[in-house]
Amino acid sequence: MSKKLTIGMFGFGVVGQGLYDIIKTKKLNLEIKKFVIKNAGKARSLPAELFSTDANDILNDPHINTVVELIDDADAAFEITKKALSSGKNVVSANKKMIATHLQELTSIQQQYGTSLLYEGAVCGSIPIIRNLEEYYDNELLHSVSGIFNGSSNYILSKIFNENQTYDTALKKAQELGFAETDPTLDVGGYDPKFKLAIVASHAYGLFVDPDTILNLGIDKLNDTDIRYAKEKNLKIKLIPLAKEVSNSEVVLYVLPKFVSKDSILFNVENENNGVLVKAAFADEQFFYGKGAGGHPTGSAVLSDITALRYDYRYEYKKHLDAQELTYTTNVDIKVYFRYTDENVLENIAFKNITERFYGEDHKYVIGYLNLQEIIDKRELINQPGYFLAEIA
């Protein structure tokens, strides 16, 4: 029999309202007792007595046994989550930056207090990838996990390649639809998929990796010459995070734009949709596809976690018991396309070898092999205006 959950929810934005819409259509053994929000003066569709601006109205309420955290501020979310778990309350969160940055500490707190933190909604919206990595692939040897983890950047790229929109036009439309923020840097700069990748790597390989050490380059420096190159080669550009075992003891993680061909299953993942590709020793290749942005898709993942708590579900982190067998490495060579303007910059980047050069009237590019650590070390040179780097399969 399921136990009743009495919920305190932090945040009532797009995901919070989407979650509430889903809950009110279901007959579930749960009750939302209180919402804590930042703006007390904003008009709400629910009775005013349900809302508060004081976090302690949830955290100190002994009748609330479940906290749902859906706010943007990663630092505030961490303090809320830490206090809730330490006081015996289970937590469901969709804050990928907070989880990726503090996962090792939060895992220890759960073990210490016997509480549960679930966060399916933090990675790839409606796609249940975390629980699949945790349960279905718990004894599997994973070769790699990659895909499209960010609906905002994928929407922009889809409009560019399928409708010939400019980057600026596509970005503006994504912002109007609520897929991208006013400051879109987290999405188009590759930070959002990097945080998700760190979480995925933890459940895939049992590694706690500081996201600050993971390379992320985004699509914000993309221009018409890169798009023209891709179209001439019958390719598309997708922003792809990758976690891959490169030896029996090493795993590489990075987020880069990538030229993909029609042979790739990711080629036709369009608009705000996400796709996760898992390659494994025994299960072979499997693909997960679904909505990666929007209140209802993410809300459905959050609700899945909430309902799992009715049966005392917890992540077991079994792969972390063998984590000493694997280490995170940045020593791997990657084939890249690099558009640049200044020859002096190119000379200061240590390509292993260059297989193709192009000099045009308005742009130059090279194709060759770079070590991942070299890209990290020279990131400021590589990621400045007028330059663009993408992986080539």
Active site residues: 196
228: helix, coil or strand? helix
Closest CA to 51 of 67, 35, 39, 40: 35
Instruction: Give the tokens for residue 11.
Output: 């945040």
Please check whether residue 110 is in contact with residue 85, taking contact to mean a CB–CB distance below 8 angstroms. Answer: yes
Region class of 330: left (phi > 0), else alpha (psi between -120 and 50), else beta: alpha
Largest pairwise CA distance in the chain: 71
DSSP 260-308: E-TTSGGGG--TTEEEEEEEETTTEEEEEEEE-SSHHHHHHHHHHHHHH
**Cβ proximity of 7 and 67 under 8 Å:** yes
